[in-house]
Amino acid sequence: MSEHHSVIVVGGGQAGLSISWHLTRRGIEHFVLEAETIAHEWKDSRWDNFTLVTPNWQCALPGFSYDGEDPDGFMKRDEVYDFVRRYAASFDAPVREQVSVVNALQGTEGGFDLETTAGPMHADHLVVAVGGYHIPTIPRFAEKLPSDILQIHSSEYRGSHQFPDGDVLVVGTGQSGAQIAEDLHLDGRRVHLVAGTAPRVARFYRGRDCVAWLHDMGVYDVSIEDQPGGVGKRENTNHYVTGRDGGRDIDLRAFATEGMQLYGRLLGVDDGILQFAPTLEASLDAADAVAESIKDNIDAYIEREGISAPEEPRYVAVWRPQQEITELDLADTDITGVVWSVGFRTDYRWLRVGAFDGEGHPTHNRGVTSVTGLYFLGLPWQHTWGSGRFASVARDAEFLAEQIGLEISAAQPQKVVV
């Protein structure tokens, strides 16, 4: 016999728990299925010195907010893990751990039939809350690197102790790549960093964290439809910055003055020789331009609102490449390890419904799909910039819980008054 539930939520992270809180509050019967353990990604897929890049006061889930002594600080990996698990315990979230969904498809009479490691189940409504980062991406030409060089994806990185003595090549300067390069650099490793097109943002400006300014300006509340480029914004890379040691900028130019070797986009490898595009200077300039444009917007907001804030001089580039390096013979270096920080691919092969585009991404409006009863939660840019983070997942969860409640009410037989 198949278990039947009104709602099944797949994923026991902060997104799945958030909608569970709202469903519980509405008295809607449901279960959360988690393939591993609650919040395990925070502990299993982050490095030892990981910290949030958003301040602790932004960690506000439905009915539960950061309650520590450092609201303007940045929680470390284990603190975030404990925070999410305490959240689940705060309302006795109905989570079934170590249960994977093998297949899910639309039922012949509505709802969804699930094949799970705990047996068959049926859900009238299905909420997919597994995020958007599933399969680590590593380029095919990585196979051409010498076999004695240890290669890992950023999701596997824990610290410099994983690598033999020597230099480490980090490929990619999104949030993870830039912070991993910093972590290795602070640990005394010589880092070779391949810069991508990710923008950066200042940690602090005119007396406050830039996140606080952007929060007050309503930037995190603007829907993706109202953003320049619309839904194409979902493909954008997040700005790099760090919360380490109380928070600071990540300035790749400053790293270069301290001995880090920077390169443009990695094109491939041939016979042990890495080949790079001459894009480094343009990438650094573009990242700085974004950071300065954010400051422009903050300045305008301060002036418009008549806010008293200290003046601050603008950033001046501390380093520029004298000549772009386009080839590097690994035999002439001490590189013993590589960290690939070039992203992830989605993997929804277990969900056999017509709710995806040609690249395997869910098609939806605020998490509501064209498939009756199917919803997504916790996706990057699901509705606003903060949707994939603590900042706005609570709001997204409330919206979907309301939609589910309305559908349940609409499906109930209406009383006839005579």
Measured distance CA(364)–CA(30) in Å, rounded: 22
Q: In 26-76, where does DSSP find H-type helix? A: 40-44
> Could you tell me the pTM of the whole model?
0.94
Nearest Cα neighbor of 375 from 30, 120, 3, 9 is 9
Q: What are the φ and ψ backbone dihedral angles of 44, each rounded to 5 degrees?
A: -90, -20
Of 336, 272, 339, 357, nearest to 136 (Cα)? 339
DSSP, res 43: H
pLDDT score recorded for residue 415? 57
- Domain 136-340 - what CATH class? alpha beta
Both structure tokens of 401: 């819980």
Over 210-274, what HEC string results? Answer: HHHHHHHCCHHHCCHHHCCCHHHHHHCCCCECECHHHCECCCHHHHHHCCCEEECCEEEEECCEE
Paired with 104 in beta bridges are 114, 351
Domain covering 3-134+346-411 in this structure, CATH number? 3.50.50.60
Give the span between the Cα atoms of 274 and 267, in whole angstroms: 8
pLDDT of residue 235: 63
Q: What is the pLDDT of residue 102?
A: 97
pLDDT digits (tens), the chain, 418 positions: 789 999 999 999 999 999 999 999 999 999 999 999 999 999 999 999 999 999 999 999 999 999 999 999 999 999 999 999 999 999 999 999 999 999 999 998 899 999 999 999 999 999 999 988 899 999 999 999 999 999 999 999 999 999 999 999 999 999 999 999 999 999 999 999 999 999 999 999 999 999 999 999 999 888 888 877 666 656 667 899 999 999 999 999 999 999 999 999 999 999 999 999 999 999 999 999 999 999 999 999 999 999 999 999 999 999 999 999 999 999 999 999 999 999 999 999 999 999 999 888 899 999 999 999 999 999 988 888 888 788 789 999 999 999 999 999 988 776 555 5
So what's the pLDDT on residue 243? 97
Classify 401 as helix, strand or coil.
helix
- What's the pLDDT score for residue 20? 98
Residues 6+ apart with CB under 8 A from 300: none
CATH code 3.50.50.60 region(s) in the chain = 3-134+346-411, 136-340
Q: What is the pLDDT of residue 251?
A: 97
Contacts of 16 (CB under 8 A, 6+ apart): 9, 10, 32, 34, 95, 127, 129, 377, 378
Integer CA distances (angstroms), 142 to 88, 266, 292, 417, in order: 40, 11, 35, 71
Residue-level pLDDT at 230: 65
